Amino acid sequence: MNTKPARVTCPHCGHSMHLSIDFSNGDQDYFEECPNCANDVHLHMHIDDVHKKLDVSISADDEQLY
Ligand SMILES: [Zn+2]
């Protein structure tokens, strides 16, 4: 199991949170609850196999565009 620390910023309130992301399963989508504002943060992980890089994109799932 490979985990990698990642820092993401909540799209709702701007709070920074640290996550341990398991990137051994390839691309993943999951939801993390922001500890500050308790809104769901949608995380999409993409593994770049060529560069062994982890890309994390974050979106809020409400209709409001940030
Ligand atoms: Zn938040």
pLDDT in tens, 14-54: 999 998 888 788 888 889 999 999 999 999 988 888 888 88
15 by Cβ neighbours in 10 Å (0-12 / 13-18 / 19+) ranks as: middle
For residue 49, give the nearest of 29, 19, 28, 26 by alpha carbon. 26
Q: Residue 40: its pLDDT value, please?
A: 92
Query: From ligand 1's centre to the CA of 51, what distance in Å?
Result: 31
Q: Residue 64: its pLDDT value, please?
A: 55
Query: From ligand 1's centre to the CA of 25, what distance in Å?
Result: 26
Tell whether pTM > 0.75. Answer: no
Q: Where residue 13 falls among pLDDT bands split at 50, 70, 90?
A: very high
Q: Is the pLDDT of residue 11 over 70?
A: yes
Query: From ligand 1's centre to the CA of 49, what distance in Å?
Result: 30
